[in-house]
Structure 1
């Protein structure tokens, strides 16, 4: 090869290394990895968020672990994420989700049977077909709360 060709090749290689296309090709795998890990991070956040909300307080130290405000928040989160299972249990007047609802609402153990019966009788009001999911959930939460820790408030 002649010196002229080497100079031409060196010039082309030099031009390509400074070329935006080359830079983009070099960066592409890193950008793709960053986008993928960002998506995984967002998805992980979506999966963990209900648990985080369930176990943490917005103002640390303001609510004790057994405070009514904390109990109400746990009840709301449970009902929000279990509304379809609760619908089934309320219709039957029995089931593990209904028992959990009673416990989270603070219904005394000796009143659980009465709680189950009252919830079953209120099914058509709680889960009226004209209500949205959040509205049904709110009615369910309020009814359970009124029979438990919300009595007398």
Structure 2
């Protein structure tokens, strides 16, 4: 009888891991910053959303407490969480992906590459986004990188 709780916990963990492995993937995700409890990102393997489409989840009811969360449960389903990006980089990737006219592809970086400078050049060439906005994104991106490298150096 004493073994039952650990057996139950083991079965629950195994069931959760099976559910997680079958769950849709949310790439390039971010928590909503407008007071709502949902996530934005690109969906893969979702039964109701086209592959590589950007959108938002239903309300979040639980999220993995790890520093790099690997799952989130919403009112409607469980999601595996893929890459996330700092705010300015994510916005650059969002606009680059949107202006490519193509859905995101699983296994490829959001925005088409990891070359942020070429994404900024591409965004400037479209003429669809004000130059001041792109310049602001570029400054914010380089500030993020500088802050990240400063933090990494100070923790060594």
Q: Which one has a larger percent helix, Structure 1 or Structure 2?
A: 1
Q: Which has the higher strand share?
A: 2
Give the structure with higher Rg (CA).
Answer: 1
Which TM-score applies when normalising by structure 2?
0.27
Between 1 and 2, higher relative CO (CA 8 Å, sep ≥ 6) is seen in: 1
Scaled by the length of structure 1, what TM-score is found? 0.28
